Amino acid sequence: MSVQKIVDRCQALYDDLDFNAVKEWKAKEEGRKAIGYMPVYVPREIIHAAGMLPVGVLGGGDQLEVIHGDAYYQSYICRIPRSTIELGVTGRLDCVDGMLFPSICDVIRNLSGMWKLLFKDKYVRYFDAPQTYDDNIGGKFYKQEMQELIEGLEELGGRKITDEDLNNSIAVYNENRNVIDELYAYRSKAPWKALTSEIYLLLRAGMVLPVEEHTELLREYLSAIEKEDRPVRDNCRVVLNGTFCEQPPLGLVKSIEMAGCYIVDDDFMLVTRWLQEDVPTTGDPVQNLADAFLHQSAETAAKYVDTEEAKGNFIVDSVKKYAAEGVVFAAPSFCDPALLDQPMLHTALNNNNIPFTAFQYAENSGQMQPIREQAGTFADSIKLWSA
Amino acid sequence: MTIAAGIDVGTGAVKTTLFKVEGDNVEWLSKRVTRIRRRDPMSLVDESYAAMLKEAGLTADDVDYVATTGDGENVPFRTGHFYSMTTHARGAVYLAEDVTAVLDVGALHGRAISIDERGKVLSYRMTSQCASGSGQFLENIARYLGVSIDEVGDLSQQSDDPELVSGICAVLAETDVINMVSRSISTPNILKGIHLSMAGRLVKLLRASKVKEGKVLLTGGLAMDTGMVAAMREEMANQKLDVPCESSPDSIFAGAIGAALWGAFRYEKLQSLGQLAEAS
């Protein structure tokens, strides 16, 4: 398949607010179930091991008109819960048999409560994450969370989830993570070829496709992109940070690229890269997933860091690893996790003489000219005035 | 030696320049300005670029860096893109000495940019999105009054009793002009009134960007309008902004000049770093 065909397919999946890919997957076999999950991270391996389709629900984007959703929330919070409610009450999410709301912020936690009240026939779970990374405290708690999720999905699916099921699913997701790592490494090597606007769409496709199909799609892209002849531009290399929950409009990603920036690292769909190394596929799978979460997970603004000295190291490391020349902070308006972290991240960057710029967006932002101007003048300042 | 081209895609015109840069020696090889007049800007870029190369006796392969600015991000053969403020600042430093501020007044908006002696942008202020401070507005009014854009400057300077128009909103300003015509206000007095209204807004931008010394250079399409330059000087005196205001015969090329010169700078920098981007 050509790059264009792959990107077109991903674009169609991205544009489809009715989750037809999920409906088609369910229709192929009677009794199939799909479980929605919100950002930032849930162990999708457990859903997969239950024979169900994990479905990333990332809000309504810039094409959904929110009518009902605004009635459920005050105006001074982000847009993703409103548009997610809109997806739910308009029946677009009827194809999912359950919803997981991971611990990311109070707004999403409240959304899990609303979902329980609104959709009483669905399996709904607030999936908590440990804030203490001690095996005996956070590890024990997190294992219990996963165990309760396993039991809930067993009841919903009407069958046991065995350790063998879980280990097989872990292997499948290890493979997916490895190909995504390859994709990110390739983009860093040739950012003029693997455009971030395309990588974003590829990752979004993984939110609705079965993981095996997604892995194959990523491999096809990697093979096709190598043959593409795309011009090298004199752009600067930047890390994009803050986009881990409410999604930036695709136009925003394209605008940053058009403004003269090659995005060489980002925090899109962290669920696909939360675990940094392969999770063992033998032994106790729940223990292995807990160990991976506690000791091999990504440092991001969406994760608690217990020492002040360590705060922000991840972004400095990312700049070094991907040879970036600066950081673009793009955070959703009213996003507590992203915006409360920013001053600390700014300090870490200042201490390392790494330039940055910051702006805010909503998933339905339409006016990109100010963002183009800001990102463009930032790129100019790096290209012309950095050492 | 570096050959660099600058392409400034504006709202009203496409401007292209070609430079040869060797150390401190900068030679301007060629330039072109083409009014868009409802044509496809990208086709005009292709035509202007080809004509400019031909005039300089060069081919596309001879050009080391093609830099775009303005709305030129979509030019497919660009090597890099620089933003208008960055390029107008560099262009101003090339066109005049002791420039501390640039007033870029194009078809779409006006912008006051405070710069240092290297052409680095220190701060800026822009007009809002209202069209009443823009060259496009002036062009529309000239058309309504039945005068060509080239006549506007001279006519404005013949004014003896200018009538000010709304400086807030293009719709109100157009209504003002219609009323003035029906009241038999002369064309020079209408045009001078528009110039003074626009200048009033632009001088406020300059004051907000805290320009106190050196020189202000007008760039963009309206810098070629002698009536506008005169109105700027008058309004700066009225608002007690005591710095000289100048325009250059090549002010309209400031963005394209800056793009080409920054392109040459980048080419040499990338060459020294061993990271040369290939002009596609």
Q: What is the pLDDT of residues A227-257, one digit of tens each?
A: 999 999 999 999 999 999 999 999 999 999 9
Residue type at position B54: K
Predicted confidence at residue A386, as pLDDT, reads 86
Please name which of B76, B84, B77, B129 lies closest in space to residue B102, comparing C-alpha atoms: B84
Residue A325 lies in a domain: no
- B223 shares a domain with B126: yes
Least confident of A274-278, B135-139, B170-174, B243-247: B170-174
B32 and B127 within one domain: no
DSSP label at B220?
S
Q: What is the mean pLDDT of residues A307-313?
A: 86
Range ranked top by mean pLDDT from A269-273, B145-149, B165-169: A269-273
Burial B62-88 (b: 16+ CB within 10 A, else e): ebbbbbbbbbbbebebbbbbbbbbbbb
Mutating which of B65, B81, B111, B267 best tests the A interface, going by the most A Cβ atoms within 10 A? B81
Phi, psi of A299 (to 5 degrees): -85, 120
List pLDDT tens digits, range A74-85: 888 999 999 999
Residues of B in contact with A376 (CB under 8 A): 81-83
**Does one domain contain both B127 and B240?**
yes
- B134 CB-near residues (< 8 Å, 6+ apart): B105, B106, B107, B108, B109, B110, B127, B170
Nearest CB among A233, A373, A385 relative to B79 is that of A233
Helix, strand, coil % in chain A, rounded to nearest 5: 50, 10, 40
Domain of residue A67: give its range.
22-160
Which chain A residue's Cα is nearest to B263? A234
Contact A232 B278 (CB under 8 A): yes
- Tally of domains in chain B: 2
Length of chain B: 280
Cβ <8 Å between B121 and A383? no
The amino acid present at B96, given as its one-letter code, is A
Task: Specify the number of domains making up chain A.
Answer: 1
ipTM at complex level:
0.83
Is the CB of residue B34 less than 8 Å from the CB of residue B13?
A: yes
Q: What's the CA dihedral at A3, A298, A59, A51 to 10 degrees?
A: 80
Rounded Cα distance between A301 and B132, Å, is: 44
Return the pLDDT at B279: 46
Question: Is residue B152 domain-shared with residue B259, that is, in the same domain?
Answer: no
pLDDT 10s digits, A338-367: 999 999 999 999 999 999 999 999 999 988
User: In this structure, what CATH number is given to the domain that contains residue B262?
Assistant: 3.30.420.40
* CATH code, domain with A79: 3.40.50.11890
User: A376 to chain B nearest CA, in Å?
Assistant: 6
Give the other-Cβ count within 10 Å of B93's Cβ. Answer: 23
Q: Domain residues for B258?
A: 2-88+253-273
Mutate to test the interface with A, among B65, B83, B85, B124 (most CBs of A within 10 A): B83
Parallel/antiparallel/unpaired status of strands A236-241 and A326-332: parallel
pLDDT at residue B157 greater than cutoff 70 = yes
Task: Assess whether B29 and B105 both reside in one domain.
Answer: no
Instruction: Name residues 249-268 of chain A within 8 A of B (Cβ).
Output: 258-260
Residue B280 is predicted with a pLDDT of 41
Both B268 and B134 in a single domain? no
Contacts of B278 in chain A (CB under 8 A): 231-232
All residues of chain A having their beta carbon less than 8 Å from the beta carbon of residue B81 are 233, 258-260, 376
Tokens of A154: 């067993």
Q: Is residue A386 part of a domain?
A: no
**Residue A321: inside a domain:** no
Q: Which amino acid is at A66?
A: V
Cα separation, A187 vs A261, whole angstroms: 13
Pair B241, B110 in one domain = yes
Asked whether residue B125 carries a pLDDT value surpassing 70, the answer given is yes
pLDDT at A367: 84
| Nearest in space to A105 (alpha carbons), one of A78, A74, A84, A85 | A78
- Of A246, A239, A260, the closest CA to residue A40 belongs to A246
Residues pairing with A35 in the sheet: A54, A98
Per DSSP, A277 falls in state S
Torsion sign across C-alpha atoms A24, A28, A34, A38: negative
Shortest CA distance to A251 belongs to which of A75, A83, A370, A77?
A370
Collapse the DSSP code of A99 into the 3-class scheme (helix H, G, I; strand E, B; otherwise coil) and give the result: strand
Tokens of A8: 């077109």
Residues B258, B260, B265, B266, CA torsion sign = positive
Contacts of B262 in chain A (CB under 8 A): 380, 384
* Domain match, B102 and B194 both: yes
Q: What is the pLDDT of residue A195?
A: 97
In this structure, what token pair is assigned to residue A155?
A: 């009841």
Q: Are residues B24 and B41 in the same domain?
A: yes
What does pTM read for this prediction? 0.90
Task: List pLDDT tens digits, range B196-227.
Answer: 988 888 898 899 888 888 899 999 888 889 99
Q: What pLDDT does residue A223 have?
A: 97
Identify the band that residue A92 occupies on the pLDDT scale cut at 50, 70 and 90. Answer: very high
What is the Cα–Cα distance from B239 to B199, expressed in whole angstroms? 11
